Structure 1
């Protein structure tokens, strides 16, 4: 199990769980460790972009707005808010900057109904999402 405070660019378990609940994620987070919580945020972000893309293609303005808003909240209130800038150093600062950029691009995608910007937002986060999934076995071994 993970210790209460992680030595990574990310914050405590409780803060991540609260952020995850705030953004309306549907998966139970009661027993999730900090690593899994972030993984769930990445997955929910991808799902939101897929929903936004479908809504734009179907001309469903309200659904598009909700999906993009959810993606932006995941980035702002989940991923970015979960960063520990004090302990995370340069990595946390770089992630914060990336998340701020993605948030701005999501707003623009929403206003313009722009699929290309949604694709860009997906391409920017996907390597982080995959890397996070890839390090899970290593992260679990490090705390056990």
Structure 2
């Protein structure tokens, strides 16, 4: 059983590495949004199930992705759009931290919906 789980994790890592290597910058941001949404949803499920280890892991993952998204912003070229996205990422980060601290899956669901809005808007942009 453990070998099968390790093999699945290794295949997933290889798949992610391959998709990342072949992706253009726009697609990389899409992939980050996909991972962010997955981590937030999984954290909410973990909260509802009382799985504190999984909750912590998924919230840490979401916060790491938010940091990555924010650090990718170009404030010189992006101007007010970059500033707005920075504020949105800051809001999502704070809501995620608070929801995790309080074990509040509804608050986390609201943050997830806000992230869905950002993700959907990004997908409307054509590189």
Q: What stretches of structure 2 of length at least 5 have no aligned partner?
A: 1-12
1:86 Cα deviation from its structure 2 partner: 0.9
Find the partner of 2:44 among 27, 45, 53.
53
1:27 is the counterpart of 2:13: no
Q: How does 1:1-144 map to 2 (within 5 A)?
A: 27-28=16-17, 29-76=20-67, 78-135=68-125, 138-139=126-127
Aligned pairs, number: 112
Q: What stretches of structure 1 of length at least 5 have no aligned partner?
A: 1-23, 140-144
Partners of 2:78 and 2:30 lie apart in 1 by 18
> TM-score scaled by structure 2?
0.83
CA RMSD, aligned part only?
1.4
1:113 Cα deviation from its structure 2 partner: 0.5
1:134 Cα deviation from its structure 2 partner: 2.4
1:109 Cα deviation from its structure 2 partner: 0.7
Q: Which has more helix, going by share of residues? A: 2
What stretches of structure 1 move > 6 A for 4+ residues in a row? none
